[in-house]
Amino acid sequence: MEEIRHLTDGDSFKVTEDDGSEAATFGPSRVLSAVPTFGTPGIRTRQHAWSTWTRIAVTNEAEARRAEQAGDIMAFEPGLVSITSAAFALDALHGVLLPFVRVTRAAGGHREESRPAHVSEVLRQAVEVPRRTEAWRDEIRWLYEIRRDVVHFEERDERPVWHSGFDSNVAPEVLRWGPSEATRAVDLVLDVLGTLAHHPHARTADWSGRYAPSIDQLIASRS
């Protein structure tokens, strides 16, 4: 059976039998990785959730911006999707990088309140830019606070806040989940990915080399 190691966005591919006959055609792919199997012909795929969530974050940030420019007060809805997707992207990336680094439970643990510290520590060990990772720590903590508040949302009465863009008082969530916050979240996740792609630590260099083209495509898709 033909051996297929790695595919990038948009690729199509064929699986052939040993005699050259076509067994199946797949594609176009979505950052799809395929590995050969032996014995019974088959194929396995791997979904890269960090890429999927990043794409959703970028798409919804743009949608939130368009809604805001159109004077739509509901711009916070795609903003919320963008913010939480950025958090999910970092969480998925944390899971991918964890086997490459050495992090103990004391460095952050897996409890929800200490999760940002754990994610920050994994990212710190995955790249070669210490000053950048120091800046990420506060931003990751901010992002995970929003994620926690959304996942465990407590419905309660709050005082409205002034929104200069709409020249009106609005619910706090309209600002808290708005386009500006979505941009802040997307800035963070794309900065993390870009640094991983081009300034990796030796322990993550192979992973970064494999996925740098896909990461560059994600970053370019924002423009």
Q: In the prediction, which pLDDT does 29 show?
A: 45
Structural domains of the chain, count? 2
Domain assignment present for residue 6? The answer is: no
Do residues 162 and 139 both lie within one domain?
yes
Domain shared by 62 and 42, yes or no? no
Single-letter amino acid code for the residue at 140: I
- 175 falls within a domain: yes
Q: Residues 17-40: pLDDT tens digits?
A: 555 555 544 444 444 455 555 566
Q: Is residue 6 predicted with pLDDT exceeding 60?
A: no
Read off the pLDDT of residues 54-81 as tens digits, 9 standing for 90 and up: 999 999 999 999 999 998 989 999 999 9
The string of pLDDT tens digits covering residues 159-202 is: 888 887 777 778 778 788 899 999 999 999 999 999 999 999 99
Query: Beta-carbon neighbour count of residue 213 at 10 Å?
Result: 12
| pLDDT beyond 90 at 124 | yes
Residues 77 and 111 in one domain: yes
Domain that holds residue 110: 49-220
Given this model, what pLDDT does residue 152 score?
85
Is 29 within the bounds of a domain?
A: yes
Kindly compute the dihedral angle of the four CA atoms of residues 45, 151, 113, 196, in this order, to the nearest 10 degrees: 40
Same domain, 18 and 54: no
Residues 27 and 68 placed together within one structural domain of the fold: no
- Whole-number pLDDT of residue 150: 85
